[in-house]
Amino acid sequence: MLARSVPKTVLANSARHSSAWFGGVEMGPPDAILGVTEAFKRDTNPKKINLGVGAYRDDQGKPFVLPSVRAAEQAIIDAKLDKEYAGIVGLPDFTANAAKLALGADSPIIAAKRNATVQTISGTGALRVGAEFLGRFFPNKVVYQPAPTWGNHVPVFKYSGVDVKQYRYYDKSTCGFDEKGCLEDIANIPEKSIILLHACAHNPTGVDPTPEQWMKLNEVIKKRNLFVFFDMAYQGFASGDINRDAHAVRYFVEQGHNIVLAQSFAKNMGLYGERVGAFTVVAQDEDEQARVLSQLKILIRPMYSNPPIHGARIASKILGDQQLYGQWLKDVKGMADRIIGMRTQLKDLLAKEGSTRNWNHIVDQIGMFCFTGISPEQVAKLTKEHSIYLTKDGRISVAGISSNNVGYLAHALHQVTK
């Protein structure tokens, strides 16, 4: 059969018609962090430093795979496991171990079967599942988030049909916690609203309340009858102690708050690309737990059906094996200690540079990120004159600092702030 020729005018009209479907789609703004990394890659200065990356690096500036993760992964490979679906709520061993890590192995909530825990696509997935659940079932669809907060918190809730408002959290004058402003704002939040709290290593400021301040927050939150949503992305990675970093979550549960919790294993296990997370609802009783879990399944099924298994197997193997668990505790403490050590070195070297500025907040803050307190103009000078890349708000990833570049960073910081 001879091929039928199609007139050029028909092809042209067809092309015009098909290309018009998305003609009204506007170009979206670039991701702030991605833009920093792209600019860093283009820079040819051999002394350049990327302080925008939100992933741990070793003292040579290289990605780090935890020894416990290597060992767990090898054990999984040796076991020659299948690749079957995990099920909508994920791997049962993983969800059980994740809940124990967050709430405590001896948690009465777990003993009473009051926790509805599902495996998620890392911390972002946990937040989204939680936001979608609240958007569907919580009567007052407003969440109050700290100012500032992680950039993804806002769209995650907004795209789930939950309005976003803010409460004061960070004090620019001290580069620390605005206790007075925070408590005042929370005291004025309408009753039965949702409040988002960072469990530890607040992102982006690195500023955490003290145990005494958490007590005050609990009192005012309980008085206002607010519903607590915890985001815990850095358990163990903040202080090096998994129990200390889980203090706020466990304390609020002990005080009677039926919280919801998003967990991530990206930072504390270095499982960034494996996307391992969990979402937990602390229910009133076992009956409510069953009903909540049934609705979480219905919500997850059309979203991503079921989660990936490899990273969850690694995390579960580590948490469920005494020897690997002990190794992991050493691994996570080693990462946290390196971050803490870099903070101390940077502060000390700034003093040696002759800086008279108060840099105490560098060591007072905790976790991967540090809010330096420098202005956007000073950030621009750091980048233009010294090839040091960070976000415009002055946030640096301490994981990007090493013994090889901390001296250069201290010198550059002093030059732009003196």
Inter-CA distances, 185 with 180, 213, 254, Å: 9, 15, 24
Q: What was the pLDDT predicted at 15? A: 52
The SS3 call for residue 84 is: coil
Instruction: Tell me the mean pLDDT in the region 135-150.
Output: 97
Q: What was the pLDDT predicted at 68? A: 98
pLDDT (tens digit, 9 = 90+) per residue, 89-129? 999 999 999 999 999 999 999 999 999 999 999 999 999 99
Q: What was the pLDDT predicted at 9? A: 59
Q: What was the pLDDT predicted at 19? A: 61
Q: What was the pLDDT predicted at 32? A: 77
**Mean pLDDT (the chain, rounded):** 94
pLDDT (tens digit, 9 = 90+) per residue, 367-398? 999 999 999 999 999 999 999 999 999 999 99
Q: Is the pLDDT of residue 213 over 80?
A: yes
Q: What was the pLDDT predicted at 408? A: 97
Report the topology of domain 85-320: Aspartate Aminotransferase; domain 2 (3.40.640)
pTM over 0.95: no
Question: In whole angstroms, how large is the CA radius of gyration of the chain?
Answer: 24
Decide: residue 354, CB within 10 A, 0-12 exposed, 13-18 middle, 19+ buried: exposed
Q: Is the pLDDT of residue 226 over 70?
A: yes
Strands 163-168 and 142-147 come out as parallel
Instruction: Tell me the mean pLDDT in the region 263-272.
Output: 97
Whose structure tokens read 């009783």?
285
Q: What was the pLDDT predicted at 74? A: 98
Instruction: Tell me the mean pLDDT in the region 52-80.
Output: 95
Percent of the chain with pLDDT strictly greater than 90: 91
The model's confidence at residue 3, banded by pLDDT at 50, 70 and 90, is low
Our CA dihedral for 306, 271, 391, 199, rounded to 10 degrees, sits at 80
Q: Residue ranges of the alpha helices (H) in 257-372?
A: 286-300, 310-320, 322-352, 360-364
- The CATH number of 32-64+336-417, from 3.40.50.300, 1.20.1370.20, 3.40.1350.10, 3.90.1150.10, is 3.90.1150.10
CA distance 282 to 304: 23
- Map out the domains of the chain as residue ranges: 32-64+336-417, 85-320
Task: Please list the active-site residues.
Answer: 150, 231, 267
Closest CA to 368 of 221, 225, 267: 267
